[in-house]
Chains A and B, each alone.
Chain A
Amino acid sequence: MAKEAQKEKSMILQKEMVEGLFNQLATAKEDGKKVCYTFIPGNLSELIRTFDMLPVYPEINALQSAMRKKSGGYIKEAEKNAHSEDVCTYVKCDVGMMMKGNIGPTGQKIPEPDVLLLSYTGCFTFLKWFETLKREYPNAKVIMVHTPYQENAEITPEMTQYMVKQLKEEVIPQMEEVSGIKFDEEKLKAHLRLSKEAEDWITKIFDTTKHKPSPIDAYFAGVYYIGPINIGFRGTEQAVEYYKELYSEIQDRIKNGLGPITPEGEMKEEKYRLVVEGPPNWTSFREFWKIFYDMGAVIVASSYTKVGGVYDMGWRHDANRPLESLAEYCMNCYTNMNIPQRIDLLSKCIEDYDADGYVTNSIKSCNSFSAGQLGMMREIEDRLEVPVGFIESDLVDPRYFSYSNIKNRLESYFQMLAQRKSMEKETV
């Protein structure tokens, strides 16, 4: 493997987008821009843009802090202030960062929110998180959008209507009030059209893992690919341009029969194709990834890349039904799907992408993902007779990433996969 990471044009585009956003945030107050804190699952990017606000995603700050090895200190800071050891570490990392001056990933200060837009989807912790933030930022307006859960594996017209009413009667008037900008439906529709375009591209991109070898890693690289669509660029030309570029780069890789790019260059041999359930660990992201690519394992699909929206089942934002489609979008994020739906979706991934195995990375402090994962794993194992693996770590708390433990478990798992493969060969 080559030792140098290769910088593709798409990577540069993404870097520019992210830096641009943080630069804008740094001068938001001087520029008279309103700042809206919100969460990734169920994010109403298009609406935020319609009111010319700048988004801040506390989860992104947390994961960036982890990648910069700062989360451990932030978490301790929060724990000194009565936050329990056992709750979502994103929250504690964010609170700790705030207590330490709210310096964001680019070293610039993140401005205080004018709006806390809680379109909370798929996780109760979001609710508690914003209750905490509201007490820190008493002047911010809190706008709550309740996203009903797909408890019966469906989105009913009542559920959509409930959300549309909230958008119409609560969210939009309050956004107008804070921003001083009148709601412009045409502007929203224009953003929604661009969202759909980006969603078409990202679906095609994640579908390229059908190729053998897979040209991308849909988890470790996938988390970068979902960046623009999830952190406020959905609904922009920039996002469409980024995804087009990324797609064409991937097409080149397919033409040349190349596997995924890793931090150490190209992966030379694809030995195992896996589907992964659960978020990654961010504090030791590189080491974590390396365990996989060193073994020739490529992730062909992951549930984590669907937290900000599930597009592979055909759903898209729709400019002809602007508010309805925002509502459906929120309800259609991965952790807002019930356990049987999650099982079906992951089983479909295993089949569609011809995966050899299924691995759960169970996150200690994320009940939204983790509660129910063991049952899901058993069901998938029974249904598809696919070897399943189970590891545990945490999102941003370095205390819960045990390299040797994870490596040992994965090595045994890969041995099992190898045996299975050789048995299959013999049978053939």
Chain B
Amino acid sequence: MKELNELIIECKELAFDLNFSRAKEWKKNNPAGVVVGYMPIYFPREILHAAGALPVGIFGGGDRKQIIKGDAYYQSYICHIPRSIIELALDKHTEHFDGYIFPSICDVIRNLSGTFKQQKIGKFVKYMDFPQNFLPEIGGVFYQQEMQHVLEYVKSINGKEVTSDDLNHSIELYNKNRKLIDFIYEIRQEYPWRLGIDDVYHIIRAGTVIPVEEHNEILEQVCAHIQNDIGEPQDKIKVVISGAFCEQPAIGLIRAIEEAGCYVVDDDYMLGSRMILGDIDSNTENPLEAIANSYIKQSQYSSSIYDVHNPKENRLANIVNMRGADGVIFASASFCDPSLLDAPIFQNAFDRMGIRYIAFQFSENINQFKVIKEQVGAFSDSIKLWEDEPVTVE
């Protein structure tokens, strides 16, 4: 077993390797292998794995990619991530990718899929329309057709016919992956000092760019380490982060929130890796149906899923309770419609429920966050010192 530090260093390198070198290496060793990039938030990676493809998460260039061409594609009042994604593609960081999947999360990602098509980037570009109808016989069937469409694209490259056994096996691997990630969050709920949130972030993000089998091995080792009584508890409040599900904050900001006095006991940074709650049936004749039903019936709330029958404010409030958190930090990427349009819904509800919160905006490329750190620090202090004082929100 590797040392925890060693694992974290490994994951750090993988998570922010904008050349996606592990995928390159994988392809070299698997000449028939197909590398498929997917954008946030969620994609059922199981089907790509079963089809002999390596799913690779593309979560933007963060603060590590200078934008030169991307600004010519996106106006200043559009979030940052599409410009860094197009920059990565045009600068050939992803030239070993065969295809690209754009899950339906917002108009920006949707239209970016069209720009990729227009630029003829990759062998296929698929905008994956997730159902907003939540009846298995209607929305579920449509979703299965969408997945089938992806499988056909992969098959057109590697000729592989996917069987139920292939799919069931892949489902099992990803079930395990989610279970291990959940375990990390469970431990952190009680003992958040054992592993910093930035380390958790690196570990989970690394899993989006390497084969799931390898990631499961890393996770198993991490889980073993954090069962030990390591680290020193500090006087910090516990918070849940919400709203940063697509464009990712710079790692410095993720770290700064904990440094400023808030243990992050839950978050939606890498929501896609945790989207499905619990296991997907891996012993079925119709695995695509099982995957579709899991999305319809057991997915986490998200700003991209119409929530009218299952209000997101109640779901986030439940997470706060379950984690024993003292408050919520709403962190939205600047100009991120889904996140910002949800803000009044959450905040009005939390005012009524008496859940404390603060809100701020970030951009993936900005790594100066003195003001945010102060705001978070004040939030933490106000909860620690003046329990009864309401927190004012900018």
Binding site for B on A (CB under 8 A): 78, 81-84, 86-88, 91, 118, 120, 123-125, 127-132, 134-135, 142, 144, 146, 148-149, 151, 158, 162, 165-166, 169-170, 338-340, 342-343, 362, 364-365, 367-368, 370-375, 378-379, 392
Contact = CB atoms under 8 A, between A and B. Distances in A.
B72 A374 contact: yes
Contact of B112 (A88, A368, A371): A371
Contacts of B311: 135
A373 B112 CA distance: 10
A181 to B, nearest CB: 23
A132 B344 contact: yes
B78 interface: yes
B113 interface: yes
B135 interface: yes
Given A144-B308, A338-B127, A371-B108, A128 B114 contact: no
B369 interface: no
Contacts of B108: 367, 371
A375 B114 CA distance: 10
A84 B133 CA distance: 28
A146 B305 CA distance: 11
Nearest to B339: A84
Contacts, number: 154
Nearest to A86: B335
A144 B142 CA distance: 15
Which of B119, B135, B138 has the most C-beta atoms of chain A within 10 angstroms of its own C-beta? B138
Contacts of A339: 111, 113-115, 117-118
Scoring B129, B135, B306, B347 by chain A CB atoms within 10 A of each residue's CB, the highest score goes to B306
Contacts of A151: 110, 113, 126-127, 129
Contacts of B341: 84, 87-88, 91, 125, 128-129, 131-132
List 10 A-B pairs, minimum CB-CB distance, nearest first: A339-B114, A151-B127, A128-B341, A372-B111, A146-B132, A84-B340, A82-B344, A371-B111, A367-B107, A162-B142
Nearest to B148: A158
Contacts of A392: 75
23 contacts: A78-B344, A81-B344, A124-B304, A124-B338, A128-B342, A131-B308, A131-B341, A144-B306, A146-B131, A148-B129, A149-B104, A149-B110, A149-B129, A151-B129, A170-B138, A339-B113, A362-B75, A367-B78, A367-B107, A370-B77, A371-B110, A371-B112, A375-B118
Nearest to A130: B308
Given A146-B133, A339-B114, A124 B75 contact: no
A149 B104 CA distance: 9
A121 to B, nearest CB: 12
B183 interface: no
B112 A372 contact: yes
B307 A374 contact: no
A169 B114 CA distance: 32
Contacts of A83: 343-344
Contacts of B82: 371
Interface string B71-83: 0111101100010
A149 B343 CA distance: 26
Given A124-B338, A158-B145, A375-B118, 17 more contacts: A81-B344, A82-B348, A84-B340, A87-B341, A88-B341, A124-B110, A124-B337, A132-B344, A132-B345, A135-B348, A144-B132, A162-B133, A162-B141, A162-B142, A338-B127, A339-B114, A370-B78
B127 A81 contact: no
Contact of A142 (B104, B308, B340, B344): B308
B106 interface: yes
A369 B7 CA distance: 44
A367 B137 CA distance: 32
A370 B335 contact: no
Interface in B301-339: 303-304, 306-308, 311, 332, 334-335, 337-338
Contacts of B211: none
A371 B112 CA distance: 7
Nearest to A135: B345
B139 interface: yes
Contacts of B111: 339, 367-368, 371-372
Nearest to B344: A82
A162 B142 CA distance: 6
A25 B133 CA distance: 30
A149 B106 CA distance: 12
A144 B135 CA distance: 12
Contacts of A373: 75
Contacts of A149: 104, 110, 127, 129
Contact of A162 (B138, B337, B338): B138
Contacts of B119: 375
A124 to B, nearest CB: 5
Given A86-B340, A128-B337, A146-B131, A379 B348 contact: no
Nearest to A365: B77
B114 A338 contact: yes
B307 A131 contact: yes
Contacts of A91: 341
Contact of B138 (A169, A338, A364, A368): A169
Contacts of A365: 77
Nearest to A81: B344
A170 B133 contact: yes
A378 B78 CA distance: 18
A123 B304 CA distance: 12
Given A370-B78, A371-B74, A81 B348 contact: yes
B107 A340 contact: no
Interface in B83-142: 104-108, 110-115, 117-119, 126-127, 129, 131-133, 135, 137-139, 141-142
Contacts of B338: 124, 128
A131 B127 CA distance: 24
Contacts of B107: 123-125, 367-368, 371
Nearest to A153: B117
Contacts of B307: 131
A186 to B, nearest CB: 26
Nearest to A343: B118
A367 B106 contact: yes
B77 to A, nearest CB: 5
Contact of A86 (B112, B113, B138, B334): B334
Contacts of A368: 107, 111
Interface string B132-169: 11010111011001000000000000000000000000
Nearest to A95: B344
